[in-house]
Structure 1
């Protein structure tokens, strides 16, 4: 079957968590692919300009190493972006973090580590091991310091070094893999999304009636896009590719190879001298979208293109909305992957045959029926325990009185 297995690997890995009023769950599945190249980030209560929750999905190609590298390092890199007196906006910090990941991946001192990530068994259970299992304890301990020092060094001389060195040999560049990235940061009521590639984020939002009030009926929600895909055939992407010396063939592939135009990694496409990172043939430059989270907003979905090849934004939102009152994000994600995986990707022309990662961030978890039932059961259990204790106390008192 070429790039596909004879039978799919449908075993799933999941992760869930809570932070203040949020509950999230992420589920991924290797599916028909011969390796698992997706990774993700879900971190609650990180300190950026203010307390932040950071969520990301990284869809690897050409190998899993860049996606895994993002999983291990992106949040640390983001948190170490400089904050000046004017309070650097979260969007700017995200933009800098995307490009900083490229510089970190290109650092010669990181090549051994990346080769370990490349050679590690690609089954998801192995890929999800913590960084400490593939690095020595000493390396893990000094990680934050290394990032800070690296950022100081590269921010000051990165452009000068590239111009001095000239164009690198594409074929000999040690990094051949890349990863699309979509990252959502929640700071208070502000939601900031950064996207490079064709992974995607979407918000389920209540529809407002003509008088400006929020809809209250069951159909009063809609899919609010938080990102837009980047493809080589798009005019603004094509112009950048051509200006940097590349071409797009009739299959929509850059230089006859990649079918996406923005990513972290893919460094051999980012070596044209005299051109800034955002103007390279393939760039890590993310689109930034920032919105105010409304009180009635339901949930956020992040997913790799394996999801969006099968479902539109609206279909994904409806799928989750129909289940979220009674099922957890992990349960919904599991059901979604089982629903959309192809029976045979040869027949579906690859649709439903990719790696799949779905992340659901519930913004209304305290209002869900499943949570209310859980609280009711807990209250009833506590009440029953209290009643039993009272009965025991009464029996003891009665027994003591009888003895007297």
Structure 2
């Protein structure tokens, strides 16, 4: 049943409401306000069960429009139709792939960097390919399992992220009234009864190549002609992160000063990072003709498409190397600690790590760039 008293709110009152809560307009229409959202809801009873359906954001949907929609829902109820079921029927042509793409586009402005956005797009297109053509409201547990099982034991971390992203998309679809029932990608109390739990790594670190194998590995890597091989060489010689290399742009490079300046918005610590370029790192860059030094440094096509986030990992796999791309930062750190006398602060700054405690206060005025030049030159010499 819905309240008979209609139009309790006014546009002025709606604009003035700041405190979290539910505010009734009457006839089942409510304004819901919390710390992050202002949205319209329609509440009703169907066969003795209380239900609610979202109408839209109060930031973009006026009170008048929300009342029109609530009136449509009351008319459906009067003719024995469930508003939520009717909405799902009207949206039957929406596929999981279409909705997933729209979800990424909607959420991407709130995500930290381009790498995170690219990861979402890749998992929801490449790995979730088997369910992209399925109708959103018909997706069930068997469909989710068909996507997850091929990857669950082989690449468990990737599979778990995929599961979580499918779960997020389906949760959003339910919030928008495009699905009913439980989320088939939910782990606790559902998929945890159907899939084995991930085994935690004993070390809790990315697998790293022992630094005493670096010379042999780099020699083999230099024989590979692929762009991914050059990107991996550059990553190793600069001790950079994957995203920093994949999104590296020629505008960030000063070949005369031999510096790579990574802007703050691409750094994990959100601070600009200056990377000294050794002879070996510089040689990788100048191999590109001067006329082609625009846009992305490492790209897979002439259309400025960055390398896939899996490109370097797949290269390692083809080479039979049991290590991760990120693990080369550990290889560098182990080498620096065990074979050199460079101070800890210099090594940590080379990795763009935040230095905690008193050391941070002592070194925050500079980035020890000159000392890091010596460190990276020594690392390049060791690798060659």
**Global fold match (TM > 0.5):** no
Q: Which has the higher helix share?
A: 2
Q: Which has the higher strand share?
A: 1
Which structure has more RCO (C-alpha within 8 Å, separation ≥ 6)? 1
Task: Give the structure with higher Rg (CA).
Answer: 2
